[in-house]
Amino acid sequence: MIVGQWFRVRLAMALAVGMAVPLQSQAWAEPWPVIASDSVAWTLLADVRALDSTIEVEARYGTPENFTSAPLPGYEANRIYLRREVAEALARVQKRLMSGGMGLKVFDGYRPVRATLAMVEWAKRTDNTALLTGGFVSSKSRHNLGLAVDLTLVDWSVGGREVDMGTPWDSFTDQAHWASATGRTKKYRELLRRVMEEEGFKQYEQEWWHYSYDVVGETPAFDVVVGEEGR
């Protein structure tokens, strides 16, 4: 089952039982920040693989493998950008993990504003407005600031295979809450959280894959196209 089909099945089940839907990517309550110009954006954003090429990247929102079953606007390459300070911290996390035979796979980092708005438009167009009222899809996200990252662990002792984190990325079930795991899955979540927090990241309790990072100074939003750096 592809991600989009899986998501729709889980959505129907959740709505049927009145399941609480987690806030998508820690949206904030304040007014939308200024959207930086493209030239400013490229001075602040960095490609995570330019800092550590061993980090695995699978930019799912640039493919049909996401809950909308279609690529989102603003994604034109399989690349992950973050604010440079965040990308540097992520590279340090990768170095820690690689020393123990593990590593990172990143699904999303900086997200163009146009992509976030496309999520909202999709929810309205497909009559999935419960995602909006429930907070799973929001018109504002820390991903737009390059300050949030969605990721998982891979095990290089088995060829870089993703480990079992209990649910797929972008699940909205209770099982996706960080504290819900048991056994080996719990140990993997604990490992990821420990190394991420040691480098300054903050875990979002309702999504095991989601971490954010605070930087000093202004935090503008961005709307540059992923893949257009240097054009």
- Mean pLDDT, all residues of the chain: 87
CATH class of the domain comprising 3-212:
alpha beta
- % of the chain exceeding 90 in pLDDT: 69
Most confident of 2-11, 51-60, 159-168, 174-183: 51-60
**CA–CA dist 168, 155 (Å, integer):** 16
pLDDT tens profile 80-116: 999 999 999 999 999 999 999 999 999 999 999 999 9
Note the pLDDT of residue 152. Answer: 97
Give the domain ranges of the chain.
Answer: 3-212
* Interval 33-49 mean pLDDT: 95
Catalytically active residues are: 207
Number of helices (H), then strands (E), belonging to the chain: the values are 7, 8
Confidence (pTM): 0.85
Query: For residue 31, what pLDDT is reported?
Result: 66
Q: Is the pLDDT of residue 74 over 90?
A: yes
Through-space distance between the first and last CA atoms of the chain, rounded to whole angstroms: 37
**How many whole angstroms separate alpha carbon 136 and alpha carbon 159?**
33
CA contacts within 13 A on the Cβ side of 152: 22
Mean pLDDT of 22-28: 44
Question: Quick one: pLDDT at residue 27?
Answer: 53
Please indicate whether residue 122 or residue 21 has the higher confidence score (pLDDT). Answer: 122
Q: Is the pLDDT of residue 17 over 50?
A: no
